[in-house]
Chain A
Amino acid sequence: MKERLTLALPKGRLLDGALGLLRELGVDGVDAESRRLIFTDTRRGLRLLFLKPADIPAYVTYGAADLGIVGRDILLEQEPDVYEPLDLGFGFCRLVVAEPRELWERDDPAKWSWVRVATKYPRMAERYFSERGIQVEIVRLDGSIELAPLVGLAERIVDLVQSGETLRVNGLVEVAEIARSTARVIVNRASMKTEHAAVTGLIEEMRARTTKVGR
């Protein structure tokens, strides 16, 4: 048996939900405000890593972390070779195609044959459009995607929306939904086998808390 399991947590919008869940499980000693990136929980003996969400699949695939909490959007984009046993239910958001209101007023998505989109999710965008027979030119960006149409970098964007507020203040309108996302637990394939009891035990505890919250 391993000394302790390592769990990778996403910094950013899913962190509060993840920490809330861990507190319920009795995990202690985490100071999210601190700049430290690694914590050891004294009560349960979990090692916690704080990572950029997009890096979590790599840590878990390679076994640097046994488990991770990450949005399904990132799993759909990266398609890592990991187990994905639990939907935690929080962090709901949607991946959508959006465009400026003035374009939207005269646009007919059914007539699209070629589009240029700015996005952080090139693979999902590519897949979505090519499945519909639409040629797509992807402008890959890393943040502030909503800016792209305003400055003429791309006519449309593919991005995550939660409330839709960011789209609205930037004068953008949702045209199509590509996918829905919530926080997921992912597990390294070898850890699931070699630390089977500890890993499934932890997942079942999380599952119990998740259904209790009642999404």
Chain B
Amino acid sequence: MRPAPTQLPKGARIYLPDEAGRKRHVEARLFDIFGRWGYREIVTPTFEFFDAIAVGTDQALQENMFKFVDRETGRMLALRADITPQIARVVATRLREEPKPIRLCYVTNVFRYDEPQLSHYREFYQAGVELIGLDQPEAEVEVIAMTVEGLRALGLRRFQIDVGHPDFFRGLMEEIKTDGAREREVRTALARKDLSTLERLVGELAPPAHVGDALLALPALFGREEVLERAAAFARNARSERALAHLAEVHRLLAIYGLAEAVLLDLGEARGFDYYSGTYFEAYVADFGAAVAAGGRYDQMLGRFGYDCPAVGFAFDVARALSVMEAQGVAIELPGPDFFIIDFTREKTAALSLARRLRDLGVSVARDIVSRGLEESLACARAQRVARALVVGSPRTRAGEMLVMDLADGTERMLEIRAALEAPEQLVGAGRKAGHA
């Protein structure tokens, strides 16, 4: 059977005007925050040579890339599946002489052959930043603070930033000296906080007693500041100790930023990309089962492109942010045009000059154009959430006059067209403009 012409490939998604308006709102709010923290936008190619894109990504992600062949060179191309390695490469090759730190931000689409899941599509949108050239814990704290600011700017409540450090776990595994397959099994069990499987694996691996105790304690090593103290008892190798010390410093700084309450420390969180080398965090919002934003430190990433330089970053998942806003009942105002001009005269000169004068003032103006009765035109304007209709040349208006109708409160008045053209500001007035800004 031929697919219906309306059918989209799996994981593709259309944003109709109202949905696109909400999406743009989220992106604009986040982008605005990035700008206010001093981040500058960077744009990278949607597709690149696969070999180049593969350098900074782990294998699981490489397998999930959309790939195709370059007609000119016959080489494999891939769609961007993660922007961070692209930015890391650009910094390593083109911006390495710039004074540090470098603050970059983006709003972009990303493509992955993931199974579509909770508000997650194969083409999805991310808004995020990279902060490059700082190894101080304050870098993590800056991006965590920005994440919190983003969650608040989107009107979200009841959120938690889950902060962990993969080196605590890596240090423990180094003490065991096990093979990669076994380590993955332990990590999978840990990622699911699956204590019974973890017990079985620890039994089979027979690690030193303090490491076994630590692995079994990991699923419960999350909570407030006291976690650091509990974890200290298990940290007997340099790597785990360093991870704890770093995390303690991040936590101390977060408290100074006034964010201690928003943060949950989680040493048992073994998720995230392999490229995270230090602090790793995810933002969770009540009523929604997946992380809305995530980020962390990836000090080895730029080194893969020949330039050793520490970096941190984070990104919001725009579609998930939209879903969670809906779940929490956050309203997004989507105003229609400020003015809708309905001109019944043949010449339409009034409509054209009014529209131009008003647009020059920075307000939005749509014209009716379709010939139909006034009521039908007004119904159309209301459906588009127009604030005011300007009616010229209808049976209700005299020559040289127009009717100004406020569609929100139903009031109307007559106005000389010439007066309106001379001083169009009087049409804009108060009220609507304020709500629109």
Interface of A with B (CB < 8 Å)?
2, 60-63, 81-87, 184, 187-196, 200
**Residue from B196, B264, B285 having most chain A Cβ neighbours under 10 A:** B196
Q: Are A196 and B264 in contact (CB under 8 A)?
A: yes
Assess whether A190 is in contact with B289, with CB atoms less than 8 Å apart. Answer: yes
In the bound complex, do residue A84 and residue B223 qualify as a contact, i.e. CB atoms below 8 Å apart?
Answer: no
- What's the Cα separation between A63 and B320 when bound, in Å? 13
Q: When the two chains form their complex, are residues A62 and B118 in contact, meaning their CB atoms are under 8 A apart?
A: yes
- Our pick among A87, A193, A200 for the contact of B195 (Cβ within 8 Å) is A87
* B284 pairs with A193, CB closer than 8 A: yes
Q: Give the docked Cα–Cα distance between A1 and B330 (Å).
A: 18
In the complex, what residue of chain B is closest to A87 when comparing beta carbons?
Answer: B196
A81 touches B117 (CB 8 A): yes
A86 to B289, CA, bound (A): 19
A167 to B304, CA, bound (A): 57
Establish whether residues A85 and B195, one from each chain, have CB atoms under 8 Å apart when the complex forms: yes
A194 to B289, CA, bound (A): 10
B399 adjacent to chain A (CB < 8 Å): no
Asked if B288 contacts A190 (CB within 8 A), the reply is: yes
Q: Given the complex, which residues of A lie within 8 Å of B159, measured CB to CB? A: 194
**Cβ–Cβ contact B222 & A196, under 8 A:** yes
Q: B285 to A194, Cβ gap below 8 A?
A: yes
B194 touches A (CB below 8 Å): yes
The CA of A60 and the CA of B289, in the complex, are separated in Å by 8
- Closest residue of B by beta carbon distance from A59: B289
Which residues does chain A contribute within 8 Å of B300, judged by CB atoms? none
Which residues of chain A are within 8 angstroms of B213 by Cβ–Cβ distance?
A: none
Given contacts A193-B264, A196-B222, contact A84 B160 (CB under 8 A): no
Say yes or no: A190-B286 contact (C-beta < 8 A), given A62-B118, A81-B117, A196-B223. yes
Tell me whether A190 and B193 are in contact in the complex, defined as CB-CB below 8 angstroms, given that A81-B290, A85-B219 are known contacts. Answer: no
Report Cα–Cα, A163/B54, bound state, in Å: 51
**A169 vs chain B, min Cβ distance (A):** 32
Instruction: From known contacts A194-B159, A196-B160, infer whether A83 and B284 are also in contact, taking CB-CB under 8 Å.
Output: no
Query: Separation in Å of the B161 CB from the closest CB of chain A?
Result: 9
Are A189 and B285 touching (Cβ within 8 A)?
no
The distance in angstroms between the C-alpha atoms of A204 and B117, with both chains bound, is 30
Query: What is the interface residue range for chain B against chain A?
Result: 20 to 34
**B284 touches which one: A2, A87, A184, A194 (CB < 8 A)?**
A194
The interface bits of chain B over 217-233 (1 if a CB of A lies within 8 angstroms of the residue's CB, else 0) are 00110110000000000
Tell me if A's interface is mostly helix, strand, loop or mixed.
mixed
5 contacts between A and B (CB under 8 A): A62-B289, A63-B288, A81-B117, A83-B194, A194-B160
Q: Which residues of A contact B195 (CB under 8 A)?
A: 85-87
The answer to whether B287 has its CB under 8 Å from any CB of chain A is: yes
Cβ of B135 to closest chain A Cβ, rounded Å: 28
**B130 at interface, CB cutoff 8 A:** no
Report the 4 A-B pairs with minimum CB-CB distance, sorted nearest first: A63-B289, A87-B196, A194-B286, A193-B284
Interchain CB contact under 8 A, A189 and B289: yes
B192 touches A193 (CB 8 A): no
A82–B194 Cα distance when bound, in Å, is: 10
Question: What is the bound-complex CA distance between A81 and B290, given in angstroms?
Answer: 9
Decide if B299 is an interface residue (CB 8 Å cutoff): no
Known: A63-B327, A83-B192, A200-B220. 4 other contacts (CB 8 A): A86-B196, A184-B196, A190-B288, A193-B266
Contact (Cβ within 8 A) A195 B196: no
Q: Is the CB of A195 within 8 A of B192?
A: no
CB of B162 closer than 8 Å to a CB of A: yes
Bound-state CA distance A195–B284 (Å) is 11
Contacts of A63 in B (CB 8 A): 287-289, 327
**Cβ of B236 < 8 Å from any Cβ of A?**
no
Report A25 CB to chain B, min CB distance, Å.
19
Most buried by B among A87, A184, A187, A189: A189
B158 touches which one: A188, A194, A200 (CB < 8 A)? A194
From 154 to 174 in chain B, residues with beta carbon under 8 angstroms from any chain A beta carbon are 158-160, 162
When chains A and B are docked, how far (Å) is the Cα of A186 from the Cα of B286?
17
B113-129 Cβ-contact flags toward A at 8 Å (1 or 0): 00001100000000000
Looking at the assembled complex, report how far the CB atom of B266 sits from the nearest CB atom of chain A, in whole angstroms. 8
Q: Which residues of B contact A83 (CB under 8 A)?
A: 192-194
Q: Closest residue to B223 on the A side, CB-wise?
A: A196
The residues in B between 369 and 384 inclusive whose CB is less than 8 angstroms from any CB of A are none
Select the residue from A63, A187, A188 with max chain B CB neighbours within 10 A: A63
Are B192 and A2 neighbours in the complex by a CB distance under 8 Å? no
A84 touching B194, Cβ below 8 Å: yes
* CB <8 Å contact, B162 and A193: yes
List residues of B (222-278) whose CB comes within 8 Å of A's CBs.
Answer: 222-223, 264, 266
- Smallest distance from the beta carbon of B45 to chain A beta carbons, Å? 31
B162 contact set on A, CB distance < 8 A? 193
> Given A62-B289, A194-B284, A196-B160, A85–B264 Cβ distance below 8 Å?
no
Interface centre among B158, B192, B195, B286 (most CB of A within 10 A): B192
Question: Contacts of B158 on A, CB cut-off 8 Å?
Answer: 2, 194
Q: Which of B192, B196, B284 contacts A82 (CB 8 A)?
A: B192
Contacts of A190 in B (CB 8 A): 284-291
Contacts A81-B117, A85-B194, A87-B195: A195 and B286 contacting too (C-beta < 8 A)?
A: yes
